[in-house]
Structure 1
Amino acid sequence: MSNTLIEAFKKRRSQYALGKDLPISQQETSALIQEAIKHSPSSFNSQSSRAVILFGAQSEKLWGIVKEELRKIVPVDAFSATEAKIDSFAAGAGTVLFYEDQDVISGLQQKFPLYADNFPVWSEHSSGIAQFAAWTALANAGIGASLQHYNPLPDAAAAAEWQLPASWKLRAQMPFGSNQGGFKNKTFMDDAQRFRVFG
């Protein structure tokens, strides 16, 4: 079966060998990320997803924040491996910070109390879809990326550094850049273990 969208999904892979030479301009990269998130679905069309797109020194600053927070909790004898991993993210051209606006969620909870318990869950769904959309869009532009979850370690420092609203809750970080390495073959479990089809 051939499907253009599925073929695009197949290009989305975790890239940990990142470089700073993007195949398109920063402006084009930023517009690509914004369009992908803008057209990602959300419950009640809430559009609760927010993003901070950092390039160059600003991205490096983020990973410096993460590194210093990790230094406080990672044992000294294990820190060199942790530092190398964080440096690999900082080696990229930029990072997308994915947020969910809690004011939007609480507003929906007040407006639709019957679904109040569901809105935080649906917000996580929206964030995941936005992340996948942006990642796929980057991959199809020839830009490598991976998805990281160091929150809540850098949350307070990042919010202060980039003067972000208190209602924005950090959900994920996506370092991106040029593909400096290949990809390993991806293996899949048997379809019979994952899917049930009736009808």
Structure 2
Amino acid sequence: MSTTSAPGSAAFLKAIQLRRTVYTINDKIPVPDEKIVEIVEAAIKHGPSSFNSQSSRAVVLFGEDHKKLWEIVLAILKPIVPEEEYPKSEGKVNGCFKAGHGTVLFFEDQASVKAMQEMSPLYQDRFPEFSQHASAMAQFIVWTALANEGISASLQHYNPLIDEKVRDEFKLPITWALAAQMPFGEATAPAGEKTFNSLEERVKVFGK
């Protein structure tokens, strides 16, 4: 990384480096629950979206509601995962996700996507893709902000298997499509070593 970055960008880039996938978490966090909600609200409010569609939605689960989510996941997995493989799945869900302090659910409101398609028919086939871009940025903002508060997380994708049960359990609008699940908590072990491919193969610069 260049050492010529301005102080502001350097701090931001350092924050990005703190964000790692951590599976070994417990239910302790160094900030109050209200801080988590504040982070999620800021991400949903200020996260960019194509044509300012503001299609991203989020649900923050604590306590028994957090645990209920992962019980739903296991209930849906049990009849479809091979019997000999299920204990492994159960151990991962209980030990890496349910064991955390809470979960952030990320959704994209398909009503907003449809409205944008009707408003800008020239790009109508692109808006579902644009919507996923918006969701990814909201996820990144939350994940990075959590890391900077000393909170570890991972990003899971049990959707679309769990979509209907989750909407029913938490009384969510039918137009909300689940995009990702982010269990979070205090790390009980560090993230593994991360390797990087050569930037010369990944970044090209012209006109310099």
TM-score normalised by L of structure 1: 0.98
1:150 match: 158
Pick from 4, 11, 26: which aligns with 1:4? 11
Unaligned runs of 5+ in 1: none
Q: Which residue of 2 aligns with 1:132?
A: 140
Kindly report which structure 2 residues correspond to 1:65-104, keeping only aligned pairs within 5 A, or say none: 65-87=72-94, 88-104=96-112
Please name the residue that 2:40 is paired with: 33
The answer on 1:185 being equivalent to 2:185 is no
| Aligned match for 1:61, one of 52, 68, 77 | 68
Separation in structure 1 between the aligned mates of residue 30 and residue 154 of structure 2, nearest angstrom = 17
The answer to whether structure 1 residue 42 and structure 2 residue 49 are counterparts is yes
For residues 191 and 133 of structure 2, the distance between their equivalents in structure 1, rounded to whole angstroms, comes to: 27
Kept in 2, the 8 Å contact 1:97–1:172? The answer is yes
CA distance in 2, matches of 1:51, 1:169: 11
- 1:79 and 1:16 mapped to 2: Cα distance? 18
Q: Partner amino acid for 2:154? A: S
1:18 aligns with 2:25: yes
Rounded Cα–Cα distance in structure 2 between residues aligned with 1:179 and 1:33 = 20
Deviations 1:122-151 (A, max 9, x none): 001000000001100100010000000000
Aligned 8 A contact 1:36 1:137 in 2:
no
Asked if the contact 1:98–1:127 (Cα under 8 Å) also holds between the matched residues in 2, the reply is yes
Please list the CA deviations of residues 2-33 of structure 1 after superposition, one character each: whole Å capped at 9, or x if unmatched.
Answer: 51110000000001011111100011111112
Which whole-Å CA distance do the structure 1 matches of 2:149 and 2:75 have between them? 32
Residue 105 (structure 1) shift: 0.6
CA distance in 1, matches of 2:61, 2:70: 11
| Aligned-pair CA distance for 1:72 | 1.3
* SS of residue matched to 1:76: coil
Instruction: Give 3-state SS (helix, strand or coil) of 1:33's partner.
Output: helix
Task: Say if 1:37 and 1:131, in contact at 8 Å, map to a contact too.
Answer: no
- Residue deviations 1:59-89, cap 9 Å, x none? 1100000011111111111111110111120
Determine helix, strand or coil for the equivalent of 1:149. coil
1:38 is displaced (CA, Å) by: 1.6
Structure 2 unaligned spans of 5+: none
Query: Helix, strand or coil: the match of 2:84?
Result: helix
Secondary structure of the residue aligned to 1:105 is helix
> In the alignment, residue 100 of structure 1 is paired with which amino acid?
E
- How many residues align? The count is 199
